Structures are given as structure tokens and as C-alpha cells.
Amino acid sequence: MSKGFIFTFLSALSWAVQILLIRYLLSNGETAPNLAFWFTLLATPYWISTFTKHHSKLQNVKFSLWILLLFIGLVNMIGVVFVETLALKFSPAVNFSFLIRTVILFTILLASFFLHEILSFKKVILSSLILIGSYLLITQGQTLRLTSGDMFTLLEAFMLAVLNVTQKTAITTIGPQLTASGAFLSAIIPYSIFMLVRGGIMLPKFPLVTILLTITYISITRFKLTALKHASASYVTMIFSFTPIFVSLFAIPLLGETLTTIQIIGGILIILAGVGVEKLKI
């Protein structure tokens, strides 16, 4: 297995854990803005430490790279982090789990335009298999009923695609660790002001679970950006589709759920497509 596959796999696993933790907190009275504020704030010491170890690489970079890091940070914090909590709250679980996979389509199109990644027939076929497999796994073959809350999920998917492309661009110049920490610290002040002005911030109701959520947030970022160092943006987002498989498997012991034959077929399609992505180095 390639390094790109290993780190994307670990990032997808971390994201599955994060989804379950966020759902647990929201279902037990935590608010989306408060949750987003605290697990971002708790991650600050780690990213400061990481930045101090690698900041020397920024001495001779162009001003445009600083702007790019600020853009990445704002999209990640105000966009993905905040919008995801709203998506998980207002979009039905089934809808969110499937529609978030549209990040594949957004990423492939944006990467083709901005990173000049080849939009090949193989890529189209494999991404189609992933989406079909995701649909079967998540919906059990039933018709998906869209809601107004699904707009948050689609918006998050687009923002994730934008992040995939911009992070890949920054990583080629300054590496994954500095891209992650630099983007985070560039945006933490405007993000904090935005959240405080918005209001509704209070102490977290479940401090230990919130800390665990912070760890998964850091893990997702570190693993994903390391994967982007070794693989294309399209590759990473396609392998990320293992996330719904992890969520389904975790739900068996934690929630007492079972997998139907249709769901198993969907999972197999995702795995086969993922193997194809790895073998063909999409």
C-alpha cells in the first residue's frame, strides 16, 4: 500500500469517529456553534507548537502564500467546521452521509481546472462506483428524500473540495505540517471574533468528549495533509469514501444496528473502487 492510501485511510477513520462524537454531543443538548468554538479553541496549543517547529520555512515565501494560508484557515474553520455542525444538526443522518460524498465530484472538477489533474474515463467510472456504493450502503436502496437542511451538507462538500485543492497547492511549497498549523493560526483570531460576536458560547457540557473530539479533528487534518503530500487531490477524496463504511461498522456494536444485503453490496463496491483507485494511482 502507498503512503497516500495509508494516511487517507487513517484520516477517513478519524472522521468517522468525529461524526459519531458530534452526533452524540448534539443529541445530548450541546449546540452546534458552541461545539465548533470549543474544539477549535482546544486545538490551538497543538498547532502553535507545530508552527514553532516548522516556521523557518516561511521566511522567504511570497505574500500570496500567506493569503492562501489565511483563506484555507477561514474556509476550514468558518466553513467546514461550523457548517458541518449545522449539517449534522439539520440534515437527516442518511442524507448527510450520502450527500457529503459529492465532495468527490467537486474535487475532481476543481482539481482538473486548478491543478491540471487529468479528468480520465477511469476516474469517472471509479467515482461513479463509489457514489453508487455509498448510496446503497447509506440508504439501503431506498429513495432519498431531500430537505432544506441538506444545503448545509452540499455547501460543506463544496468547501471540502476547495480545501483539497488549496491545501494541495500550499503543501507543494511548505509541506503538510506548516500548511496545517499556518492556516489554522492565520484564521484563529477572525474565527474567534466571528463566533463570539455571533453569541451563544458557553462552557462545554461534556468536556472529556469535547477533548476527544479535538483529538480527532487534529488527526483528520494531519493525516489528510500528509496524504496530499504523497497523492493527488482526486485520489485522497476518493479513498476518503471509506468513511461511511467505518461509520456503519461502528454503529453495529455501539447502536446495535445490522447491515442488510444491499448495504453489504454497497460497501463492497466502495472497497473495490478504492482498490482500483490505489492500483491505478488516480
Whole-prediction pTM: 0.88
pLDDT per residue as tens digits for the range 154-188: 999 999 999 999 999 999 989 999 999 999 998 89
Q: Give residue 52's pLDDT.
A: 93
pLDDT per residue as tens digits for the range 98-134: 898 999 999 999 999 999 999 899 999 999 999 999 9
DSSP structure string for 87-154: HHHHS-HHHHHHHGGGHHHHHHHHHHHHS-----HHHHHHHHHHHHHHHHHHHTTPPP---TTHHHHH
Structural domain boundaries, residue 78: 3-280
pLDDT(8) > 90: yes
pLDDT(250) > 90: no
> What value does the mean pLDDT of the chain take?
90
39 or 256, which is more confident = 39
Q: Give residue 86's pLDDT.
A: 83
For residue 249, the one-letter residue type is L
Which residue matches cell numbers 503538510? 176
What is the distance between the alpha carbons of residues 9 and 12, in angstroms, rounded to a whole number? 5
pLDDT per residue as tens digits for the range 186-222: 889 888 888 888 777 899 999 999 999 999 999 999 9
Q: Give residue 110's pLDDT.
A: 96
Q: Give residue 274's pLDDT.
A: 93
Which residue matches cell numbers 457540557? 205
What is the distance between the alpha carbons of residues 184 and 187, in angstroms, rounded to a whole number? 6
> Using an 8 Å Cβ cutoff, are 232 and 282 in contact?
yes
pLDDT per residue as tens digits for the range 40-98: 899 999 999 999 998 887 788 888 998 999 999 989 887 787 788 788 788 887 888 88
> Using an 8 Å Cβ cutoff, are 31 and 215 in contact?
no
Q: Give residue 218's pLDDT.
A: 95
Structural domain count of the chain: 1
